[in-house]
Structure 1
Amino acid sequence: MSKKTNKRPALTAKEQCDHMAAHNIKFEKCSRQDAVKFLTENTYYFKLKAFDNNFYKNADNNYYNVDFANLQDIAALDFHLRSLILGLTGDIEHSLRIRFNNLISAYDDIDPYEVLHTYHQDQNAFYAKKNQSYKPKNEFCQSVYTQGMLDKYISAQPIWLFWETCTLNSLIQCYHSFLYHNNIDDIIYPLLFGMRLLRNAASHHNCLLVPSNTNAKKSIRLSQMLDWLIEDVPADDRTLVKIHVLSDILLHDFACVLLTHINLVRSRKIRDGRLHAMQSFINRLDKHKDWYQDETAHYKKIFVLRLHVMKILLMSVVRFYEKTDQGEISDSMTSLTALPIRRNKSRS
């Protein structure tokens, strides 16, 4: 028999506010009228309700001292965070293609057509182990925006066509195949997966500022690069950042995005544009910082810590670029921008 679910009726925005009020959510900093308007024009109840997991409840499942404005604020922070992530990861995806192209062009013994052929062989072997078939043409995503390009070049299947039409996941997998078969080390490769996960979550409008049941996997490379980035941060905060970035999945993936962006994005104009966006988000984090210290609201500690760690990471990136421009960057910080290194020629 199928599992029965308790179906809940669809409520109007006014009824949703009544339901929240019944659980002790106040409407003092934000009036009920404005709350109804917010739930009608800015977001929807199910999404906003997800953010209430950042607050403790009493034994009766009611909130202690939470105002609708507190939920409104987290929703706004989440929106700004997703916007920042989408901008950063868009830069990364473009810059990864540039790096891939530059590496292929740098070595005479690398055939750009063979790069894609080898990737297809790797994928075919991977799927064969799972008793599944692999269809290379499915890697080329067709749409009204790519069809003309595909019609013209698909028979030859150059790597450049692949970049322009593949998913980010396929791009990363192909880059891994290329690095492996050509004995090239790229410091940021292990970080690309965390970057991709956060990019996908942001692009699908998932709520990011909610507690997670998933812990981050330990990464030696991330830990090393994080040490370089936050070397000037006071000791207590440095320890706090290391502990939470290496354990909290959101902070882990956010650090992957920032560090990958530092390493991959070489355009000064793109960099300066993102720095402006980072500073804007830092300012938004500070807008209601007094609320997060209000013990009567019973914010969960992890929520407040996440915001604090994000701010430290972003400020560290800003300082990194300031020191770079002033010529005051340390040797370890310089390592954050290390280019890929080829150990020897291709594997046989």
Structure 2
Amino acid sequence: MPQKKLLPSNKLIQHMKDKGIQFNICNEQHAQHFLEEHNYYFKLASYRKNYDKIPCGDNAGKYIDLDFAYLQELSTIDMYLRYLILELCLDIEHSLKVSLLNDIESNNNEDGYNIVKIFNQQNNSIAKVKQYVKNSYAKEIINKYSNNCPICLFSEIITFGDLCKLCNFYNHFYPNRLPYKPTLLYPVRDIRNGCAHSNCLICNLRAQNVAPNNEITNWISTFSSFSKTKRLKMLRNKSIHDLVTLLYMYNAIVKSEYLRKIQLKKFSRLINRRLLKHRNYFINNPAVTNAYIFIREALAELLKND
């Protein structure tokens, strides 16, 4: 693949115009300022995957009905989503630890050391943690207990990914003790890591790039207004699938009624207020509008039962 040239913002504007991107709502001067001060072209341009191109003729390859303002708004929505998703994932991480530790305390077959020893032998988690011990906020715990680490401390020093693996491992060792299906933590891990690294979530809402989980598919089928074919199509998009799974698992894992109420209300305000600020931008884009309705329905179901 040939290397792409790095262009200054004014030439990027012309490059976008050549691609059919319009500057009717946001003029070129404001667009240039946005690219220089608020976002960068590579990230902003990724959202154009939600739009079709002219298939043939003199303008073949140019985008249909795409204004720079639409890309700008999608990037802003994505930012708000990432920030709130990270909050939800922090709540899930804390609640996972509480749930796991409480179950181990009541498990007569487990002393809190055995599960750590066996899990670490297979996953080498402590060795991974030790690689970054100098910069870790858990430095004292790691140095003091790494050779004989109880579950209460082990859960504090491992990554969120390893915590998800640990819950799944525990569930295999002691089946049906946890009040949720640990395999559903992996989509939560994926969207959490994507947000933590500021990856774009909604840059391609038409992609079909994941096999939907049956439990999530069945849950959605109980309330969604979408047909079965359309539901499956929506859930085959990884961003949509993982976000719906996050909401489902948040409700299953986070037991604090106060916290759950606060966070779901935050999500509701985002969905029902901020995301509708420029709804007219996307009225002719079914990829964006259908994704919005799909997520809104999942959230409404949780709020109804909360």
Give TM-score scaled by structure 1 length.
Answer: 0.78
Map of 1:137 onto structure 2? 127
Question: Which string of whole-angstrom CA distances, capped at 9 and with x for unpartnered residues, describes residues 240-292 of structure 1?
Answer: 77424542222211111001100111113321221232022212222222222
* Deviation of the 1:135 alpha carbon: 7.0
Map of 2:98 onto structure 1? 98
Rate the CA distance shift 1:93–1:135 in 2: closer, same or farther, 3 A: closer
CA distance in 1, matches of 2:116, 2:141: 17
The equivalences for 1:95-174 within 5 A come to 95-121=95-121, 123=122, 134=124, 136-139=126-129, 142=133, 143-174=135-166
Rg larger for: 1
Query: Share of identical aligned residues, percent?
Result: 26
CA distance in 2, matches of 1:38, 1:104: 52
Rate the CA distance shift 1:265–1:245 in 2: closer, same or farther, 3 A: farther
CA distance in 2, matches of 1:42, 1:176: 40
CA distance in 1, matches of 2:119, 2:304: 39
Q: In structure 1, the residue corresponding to 2:198 is in which secondary structure?
A: coil
2:278 alignment partner, one of 272, 283, 288: 288
* Deviation of the 1:47 alpha carbon: 0.6
The equivalences for 1:327-338 within 5 A come to none
* Paired AA for residue 248 in structure 1: N
* Deviation of the 1:98 alpha carbon: 0.7
Runs of 5+ unmatched residues, structure 1: 125-133, 322-348
CA distance in 2, matches of 1:117, 1:8: 49
Map of 2:287 onto structure 1? 302
Give TM-score scaled by structure 2 length.
Answer: 0.88
Map of 1:279 onto structure 2? 268
Is residue 30 of structure 1 aligned with residue 15 of structure 2?
A: no
CA distance in 2, matches of 1:177, 1:190: 10
CA distance in 1, matches of 2:125, 2:76: 42
CA distance in 2, matches of 1:264, 1:135: 24
Structure with higher RCO (Cα < 8 A, 6+ apart): 1
Aligned length: 297
Q: In structure 1, the residue corresponding to 2:113 is in which secondary structure?
A: helix
* Paired AA for residue 307 in structure 1: Y
CA distance in 1, matches of 2:109, 2:302: 37
The equivalences for 1:165-244 within 5 A come to 165-186=157-178, 187-211=180-204, 213-227=207-221, 230=223, 236-237=225-226, 239=228, 242-244=231-233
The equivalences for 1:250-269 within 5 A come to 250-269=239-258
Q: In structure 2, the residue corresponding to 1:316 is in which secondary structure?
A: helix
* Deviation of the 1:237 alpha carbon: 3.3
CA distance in 2, matches of 1:174, 1:27: 50
* Paired AA for residue 252 in structure 1: H
